[in-house]
Amino acid sequence: MVQYMYDTIYVLYLQKNKEMSESELQVGKPVSGVEFVGREKDIEQIINLLKSGQSVVLLAPRRFGKTSLILKVLEHLNENNFDTAYVDIFTTPDLKRFSETFTSKIFENRKLGKIIRTAKKNIGELIRNVEFKSSIEDFEIVLKFGQADISHWELTEESIEFAEIFAKKYNRKLIVGLDEFGDIEKLGGKELSKLLRAKMQTQKNVTYIYSGSYESVMNQMFTTSKSPFYRFARIITLGYINKDAFEKLYEQKLERASLQANPKLIKRILDFTQGHPYYSSLFLQQWLLTGKGLDTSHEIAFIQLLDAILDIENAYLEKLWEDVSTSYEQRSLLIALTESRKPYTTLDIRRINVSRTISVLKNKGIVHKRKEGYCFTDPIFETWMRREVLKEDF
């Protein structure tokens, strides 16, 4: 019922605001253009590192805009005489698809990209395309994709080597983005990590930008001395976005929608989200969808928006709580954190190892440390906890 009402409001809003495209209201997908705000310093640092040949790792919880940032960086580099490729490991089901996608994305830097996109086939099938085959005569290595008896491991090895060959041929540095790299071992275990590191570390014309949401996995991959990728890349941890950047975006979007940009309501929202990328955008989206239906009181209007977002996010939050509450220690610590934000003084340390539990939750991206102590990374999850677990009234 809630989703039906939400969709109905959405349709009505689009009808009333035809000058705004549907893409301007999307939340949860990679953002670009004027909607990409507040990461200027991160972009500058990452680009300078990549240009110097230093690979980079982006660490952040889900919904912190890692994919948007990678795509923005690659777009900038592509406009400045670098070849680029982007592969999402999360959506890659197996090793064969990884090697095909990796190679195809590199090819898209040249006229071959048009052939690949038009054909809508994997690179193995494209080998039988006469136009494509004649275009890659200088890349005999890729013809192996057309062989039925070649192993997926060999294809992967050849694909990674191909990146350096391609960069050398066209005398242009190649930057490859590997999103959700923490999932790479699902494709081939630790042996795959060893293979990738062995090939990537010898490349002089290819640089990588990795990202990952599971901080414990990513940290282990890049900071543990026994890991294949130990000290291979510079680690950059993404934080919240400056609230001033979101304030300007709110004012711009509301003005375009002919809605009053209530400064008190904007401040109330951004003080609550602390500049959390996903939720700051979601509040704005909901404000645009609700339009003039918001109360004139900024506090009541905030509650209206918060209630709607809690309904929208409820299934996700229930699943998150279900996952962490199976552990007595994690459940107890999150409840204590919700109640007082002082778990060390409120929990029985004889029954719960507070430091270890905080470390686990921190590695999952659920909590983080600030000056005042440990806090929820997700402000909506904390509010949901107060309502659904502690049964507090708002």
> What is the DSSP code string of 236-286?
EE--PPPHHHHHHHHHHHHHHTT----HHHHHHHHHHHTT-HHHHHHHHHH
Q: Looking at the domain covering 325-394, what would its CATH class be?
A: mainly alpha
> pLDDT at position 81, please?
92
pLDDT in tens, 85-98: 999 999 999 998 89
Please list the alpha-helical segments (H only) found in 274-376: 277-290, 298-324, 328-339, 343-346, 354-363
Average pLDDT, stretch 261-286?
94
pLDDT in tens, 214-257: 776 777 888 888 888 988 999 998 989 999 999 999 999 999 99
- Give the range among 22-31, 157-166, 287-296, 302-311 with minimum mean pLDDT: 22-31
> pLDDT at position 326, please?
93
**Who has greater pLDDT, 209 or 375?**
209
Q: How many helices (H) and strands (E) does the chain have?
A: 18, 7
- Give the range among 148-162, 232-246, 319-333 with minimum mean pLDDT: 148-162
In terms of Cα–Cα distance, which of 146, 133, 209 is closest to 173? 209
pLDDT in tens, 257-270: 999 999 999 999 99
Whole-number Å distance between alpha carbons of 237 and 56: 10
> pLDDT at position 135, please?
54
> pLDDT at position 147, please?
60
Residue 50 confidence (pLDDT) above 90: yes
Is this model's pTM higher than 0.85 or not? no
Percent of the chain with pLDDT over 70: 81
Residue 391 confidence (pLDDT) above 70: yes
Return the C-alpha torsion angle 216, 221, 222, 224, nearest 10: 80
In terms of Cα–Cα distance, which of 146, 153, 219, 158 is closest to 191? 153
Whether the Cβ atoms of residue 175 and residue 50 lie closer than 8 Å to each other: yes
- Give the range among 66-75, 309-318, 342-351 with minimum mean pLDDT: 342-351
Whole-number Å distance between alpha carbons of 343 and 365: 17
Give the CATH architecture of domain 39-237.
Answer: 3-Layer(aba) Sandwich (3.40)
**Who has greater pLDDT, 20 or 245?**
245
Whole-number Å distance between alpha carbons of 220 and 222: 6
- Label residue 22 exposed, middle or buried (CB < 10 Å: 0-12, 13-18, 19+): exposed
Residue 120 confidence (pLDDT) above 70: no
Bridge-based pairing of strands 367-370 and 174-179 is unpaired
